Amino acid sequence: MAAEEWIDVGAAEDFRRQPLREASLGERKVAVSFKDGKFGVISNVCNHVGGPLGKGRLDGEFVVCPWHQYKFHRCTGEGEPGYEADKVPGYGVKEENGRLLVTAKPVSKRGHLPHEAHPLERSLDRAPGGLRVGGISTTAMDPKNPRFSTSEHLLTVALDHAKAALGAETKLIRLNDLNFRHCEGYYSKAAKACTWPCSITSMDQTDQLDRVYDMAVFWADILIVSTPIRWGAASSLYYKMVERMNCIQNQITINDKVMIRNKVAAFIITGGQDGIQAVAGQMMGFFSEIGFLLPQFPFIAHSLGWEAEDMERNVDFVEASDHLRAGARELVGRAAETARCVLEQHMTTSRKIEPGGRKASADR
């Protein structure tokens, strides 16, 4: 049997100073740990989506991945109790003459436990059926004491019209009714740490933003998003939602995969003061950046303006406005016209869309 080949990865003393760190082993990287006088070496590549284990932390005898907190035994590479078979390769390690030596090849193999695909991992092909219009209201309110929302009111006018006059199927999501977590910045750790489905959605079954993903990515041909204006910006719930939608855009960046195709977005914006153009600009920018198309005149809006602000009359004004209701109906009509053109002309999923001015992170 050939003698084991060992590679010198550095001064043992340096590795003693840090409980966990990365080291180069030829072309590869390994995660070297030191605890209770004993070294451990495992692959640096996490089983999940490749997080750098040597940049994580130790939790007892386990290395915690810095991306999504999967754990692997620092010496054997095995997963946590109950998940031992989900393991990363382990390496032999010894100290000689003050140097740390690691086996050139792993002494144990990588293993994966069978993984059931998340429902959002399904094919992006459009399910058969007629035109589908989804509405998302981003208004925040006390659910036990609901109040009249002007933007949501106009959204329901648009959806009712889509159903009754345009023959579309409709659905409404009120973000206020959903229990969902803030984006926790996986993209800020590394582009590949921001996954599809969203890392939070994959790990937390109580998180309900999967309903928004399902509507935006799969179900809807037209998405109408309504928001109030809050200090010149869209609502806090709107931003909480769109931060979580980074995973949709990120698939273009890391996998060259456009998830939103042949879909149209339109917007309803209402406020007591002005700020409409800034809010509309952000919404149009975001939704076109993730792949939505915009109809001609993609938003309707209402505000009484800086000097005429009058919150005592604002709700009555909107409720009584035939003009705004007509605007909501016309908005969904324009969106439907655009969606039908797009669907009929078969801008098919096979058509390659270049990311335009943005290099995939894999190319760097």
Q: What does the binding site for ligand FES look like in residue numbers (CB under 6 A)?
A: 46, 48-51, 65, 67-70
Nearer to ligand FES, 29 or 171 (CB): 29
Contact present, 101 and 138 (Cβ < 8 Å): no
* DSSP class of 54: G
**Smallest gap from residue 203 Cβ to ligand FES (A):** 9
**CB of 303: closest distance to ligand FES in angstroms?**
44
Asked if residue 89 lies in contact with residue 109, where contact means CB atoms within 8 angstroms, the answer is yes
Residue position matching structure tokens 């109790």: 81
Shortest approach of ligand FES to residue 81 CB, angstroms? 17
Residue partners of 160: CB distance under 8 A and separation at least 6: 170
Indicate the residue among 68 and 153 with the shorter CB distance to ligand FES: 68
Compute the least distance from the CB of residue 83 to ligand FES, in Å.
12
Least Å distance between CB 190 and ligand FES? 9
Residue (69 or 282) nearer to ligand FES, CB: 69
**Cα–Cα distances in Å, from 86 out to 46, 66, 111, 144, 252?**
10, 17, 5, 45, 29
194, 250 Cβ separation under 8 angstroms: yes
Please give the Cα distance from 127 to 339 (Å, whole number).
15
Find tokens 């409720």 and name the residue: 319
Nearer to ligand FES among residue 78 and residue 152 (C-beta): 78
Q: Is 56 left (phi over 0), alpha (psi -120 to 50) or beta?
A: beta
Residue closer to ligand FES by CB (options 203, 278) is: 203
CB of 48 to ligand FES, least distance (A): 3
Q: Which of 97, 93, 106, 114 is nearest to 38 (CA)?
A: 93
Q: Which residues contact 63 (CB under 8 A, 6 or more apart)?
A: 20, 31, 33, 42, 53, 54, 56, 57, 71, 72, 73, 74
Q: How far is the CB of 49 from ligand FES (least distance, A)?
A: 4
Which stretches of 205-321 are DSSP H helices? Answer: 210-213, 236-244, 246-255, 276-289, 311-320
Is residue 57 within 8 A of residue 64, CB to CB? The reply is: yes
- Closest to ligand FES by CB, 170 vs 202, is 202
CB of 87 to ligand FES, least distance (A): 13
Nearer to ligand FES (CB atom), residue 49 or residue 339: 49
Q: State which H helix or E strand residue 13 sits in.
A: helix 12-16
Residue number with CB closer to ligand FES (65 or 212):
65
